[in-house]
Amino acid sequence: MEESKLNKVLTELATTLQQAHDSLITTGLKFFCQTHVSTVFKFDNVTNNISETFNVYIIKARSKPIVDMLEEIRRMLMQRMNMKREMVSKWFGDICPNIRRKLEKSKEESRYCIVTPSGNFKFEVQYMDKIHVINLGNQTYTCRRWDLSGIPCNHAVSCINRMKEDPEKYISDYFKRDVYLKTYEFSLEPLTEKDTWPAVEGPHILPPDVKKIPGRPKEVRRRELHEDDSNTSRYSKHGSIIKCQIYFLEGHNISCPLRTQGASTHVEEMSGSGLPICSPREEWSGLIIRERDRRVRALQEDLDVTQASQNSPNVR
């Protein structure tokens, strides 16, 4: 998001929710807005996916005692680091495979960019209804996608092709083979069983008191209402409108406390008319059936009118 659009959004937020606007400014825009995020780390997502992924990765080990849990995590990380080192040897080229796929997508989209050179490695690029300024000298441009991710986007690739250079040269060093190997060059040492470990001086650490709570212990966190839970077999009721099947009104369901009271009042009114009296349950069942039939008849009439209008000859 450009700075001008951000200021417009902040102005609208201050008009509607002043408290939320003040909290956002106090906390800092660098934690929420890509226009203020640092470009050092070459990561264009402002999320906590790393912690979420790690929590899922160790979810089985978390149910064990503290020492066994740490040992399980150590083995998992030891195996993962070795797997990553072996995976690098199968790469084709010097760029990470995922980054290469993103670059290929940018190359495909760069065909629709209109490049206007300005000189000194500066360009004006028009894509769809947007115009951006590219500076290949310091690898920056107004959209900040290249600045944040370290991967040339379609605008930058179009300018690089205009200069007849290879776009892979402009990818950040973070995504190259040598830097990737430095991340996993240190390996965890294997250990023997716990009985052979050297004794350590200090107080004996006891486990915390176990307080048994009712129900089965939860292994995953409780999701918010707006979050999508793809693992469940039930549909979420968030945003659905509940209607009473008796009154056909919103705001309550069939357990409405006025159901029996309303039916009893109607039965009392019918008691002096000489008409046959039915029970409250039968009374409301009849009302539901009549309402259903009325809706079916109305729908059928609409269909008949539509068919008649389609079959009638055009009048000139």
One domain for residues 131 and 161: yes
One domain for residues 59 and 112: yes
Instruction: Return the pLDDT at 232.
Output: 57
One domain for residues 111 and 149: yes
Mean pLDDT, residues 61-77 = 90
Amino acid found at 228: D
Tell me the pLDDT band of 71, cut-offs 50, 70 and 90: very high
CA dist 67 to 81, 131, 205, Å? 21, 57, 11
Tell me the pLDDT band of 211, cut-offs 50, 70 and 90: confident
How many other C-beta atoms can be found within 10 angstroms of the C-beta atom of residue 203? 5
**% of the chain beyond a pLDDT of 70:** 76
Whether the Cβ atoms of residue 69 and residue 62 lie closer than 8 Å to each other: yes
Whether the Cβ atoms of residue 179 and residue 173 lie closer than 8 Å to each other: yes
Residue 285's domain comprises 242-252+280-301
Mean pLDDT, residues 111-119 = 89
Whether the Cβ atoms of residue 145 and residue 152 lie closer than 8 Å to each other: no
Is 219 part of any domain?
no
Is 234 part of any domain?
no
Q: Evaluate if residue 195 carries a pLDDT over 70.
A: yes
Q: Evaluate if residue 109 carries a pLDDT over 80.
A: yes
Is the whole model's pTM more than 0.75, yes or no?
A: no
Instruction: Indicate the range of 117-131, 180-194, 216-230, 276-290 predicted with least confidence.
Output: 276-290
One domain for residues 180 and 66: yes
In a 10 Å sphere around its CB, with 0-12 CB exposed, 13-18 middle and 19+ buried, how is residue 180 labelled? buried
The more confident residue out of 98 and 4 is 98
One domain for residues 50 and 137: yes
One domain for residues 27 and 62: no
One domain for residues 114 and 162: yes
One domain for residues 1 and 93: no
Instruction: Indicate the range of 208-212, 254-258, 273-277 predicted with least confidence.
Output: 273-277
Tell me the pLDDT band of 46, cut-offs 50, 70 and 90: low
Q: DSSP assignment of 137-204, as one string?
A: TTTEETT-HHHHHSS--HHHHHHHHHTT--GGGGS-GGGBHHHHHHHT-S-PPP---GGGSPP--SPP
Tokens read off for 196 = 């052979």
One domain for residues 141 and 54: yes
Is 72 part of any domain?
yes
One domain for residues 5 and 122: no
The rounded distance, in Å, linking the Cα atoms of 146 and 1 is 13
Instruction: Return the pLDDT at 54.
Output: 87
Q: Evaluate if residue 274 carries a pLDDT over 50.
A: no
The more confident residue out of 278 and 45 is 45
Q: Evaluate if residue 265 carries a pLDDT over 90.
A: no
Is 14 part of any domain?
yes
Query: For the chain, how many helices (H) and strands (E)?
Result: 10, 4
One domain for residues 113 and 148: yes
State pLDDT tens for residues 75-98.
999 999 999 989 888 888 888 888
Is 232 part of any domain?
no
Is 266 part of any domain?
no
How many domains does the chain divide into? 3
Q: State which of 13-17, 58-62, 238-242, 272-276 shows the largest mean pLDDT.
A: 58-62
Instruction: Indicate the range of 18-27, 141-150, 304-313 predicted with least confidence.
Output: 304-313
Mean pLDDT in the chain?
77
Mean pLDDT, residues 294-302 = 79
